[in-house]
A and B are shown apart, each in its own frame.
Chain A
Amino acid sequence: MLSKELVAASTVPLVLSVLTEGEIYGYALIQRVRELSQGKIEWTEGMLYPVLHWMEKEDLIESEWRDAETGRKRKYYRLRKEGRKALQEEQEQWMTVHQTLTKLWKQKPSLT
Chain B
Amino acid sequence: MDDRSPNTHKTMETETKFDLNLAIRRWRDDLARSTAFRSENLNELESHLRDSIDRLRTPQLSDEEAFLIATRRVGNTQRLEQEFGKVNGAAVWFDRCLWILVAVQLWAFNASASSTLLSVASPVCVSLNEFLPVIGLPKMSQDWLQMVIAMIFSPIPIAFLAILVWCIFIWPKRKGMALVQKLLREPGKLALALMLLCLATHLVAMLAVSTWYYPTTFSNMGVRGLPWGWFLSRFPTAIFWAGLTYFIARKKLRSSAA
Tell whether B39 is near chain A: CB-to-CB under 8 Å.
no
Would A47 and B43 be within 8 Å (CB), given that A26-B48, A27-B51, A54-B87 are in contact? no
Tell whether A112 is near chain B: CB-to-CB under 8 Å.
no
Query: A26-60 interface mask toward B, CB cutoff 8 Å, 1 = contact, 0 = none?
Result: 11100100000000000011110110011001000
Query: B40-51 interface mask toward A, CB cutoff 8 Å, 1 = contact, 0 = none?
Result: 010111011011
Tell whether A98 is near chain B: CB-to-CB under 8 Å.
no
A-chain residues with CB within 8 Å of residue B54 when the two chains form the complex = 70
Distance between Cα atoms of A49 and B44 in the complex (Å): 8
B-chain residues with CB within 8 Å of residue A103 when the two chains form the complex = none
Contact B87 A53 (CB under 8 A): yes
Binds A, one of B73-81, B105-113, B190-198: B73-81
Tell whether A75 is near chain B: CB-to-CB under 8 Å.
yes
Tell whether B84 is near chain A: CB-to-CB under 8 Å.
yes
A-chain residues with CB within 8 Å of residue B65 when the two chains form the complex = none
Tell me the count of chain B residues lying within 8 A, CB to CB, of chain A: 21
Contact A47 B48 (CB under 8 A): no
* Candidates A27, A45, A50; contact of B86 at CB < 8 Å: A50
Closest B residue by C-beta to A57: B87
* Candidates B41, B47, B73, B86; contact of A44 at CB < 8 Å: B73
B-chain residues with CB within 8 Å of residue A45 when the two chains form the complex = 48, 52, 73-75
Number of cross-chain contacts by CB at 8 Å: 54
* Candidates A50, A57, A74; contact of B83 at CB < 8 Å: A50
Query: B55-93 interface mask toward A, CB cutoff 8 Å, 1 = contact, 0 = none?
Result: 100000000000000000111000110011011100000
A-chain residues with CB within 8 Å of residue B51 when the two chains form the complex = 27-28, 74
Contact A50 B47 (CB under 8 A): no
Distance between Cα atoms of A47 and B83 in the complex (Å): 7
Contact A44 B75 (CB under 8 A): yes
Q: Which of B41, B47, B55, B80 has the most CB of A within 10 A?
A: B47
Contact B52 A49 (CB under 8 A): no
B-chain residues with CB within 8 Å of residue A44 when the two chains form the complex = 73-75, 79
Closest A residue by C-beta to B50: A72
Would A46 and B80 be within 8 Å (CB), given that A26-B44, A73-B47, A75-B44 are in contact? yes
Contact A49 B47 (CB under 8 A): no
Distance between Cα atoms of A109 and B25 in the complex (Å): 56
Q: Which of A57-99 contact B (CB under 8 A)?
A: 57, 65, 70, 72-75
Distance between Cα atoms of A45 and B83 in the complex (Å): 12
Q: Which of B51, B73, B74, B75 has the most CB of A within 10 A?
A: B51
A-chain residues with CB within 8 Å of residue B83 when the two chains form the complex = 46-47, 50
* Candidates B50, B73, B79, B84; contact of A49 at CB < 8 Å: B84
Closest A residue by C-beta to B255: A57
| Interface pairs A-B: 4 shortest CB-CB | A46-B75, A44-B75, A27-B51, A46-B74
Supply 7 further A-B pairs (C-beta < 8 A) apart from A25-B47, A46-B45. Answer: A27-B48, A27-B51, A44-B73, A49-B44, A50-B84, A73-B43, A73-B47
B interface, CB within 8 angstroms of A: 41, 43-45, 47-48, 50-52, 54-55, 73-75, 79-80, 83-84, 86-88
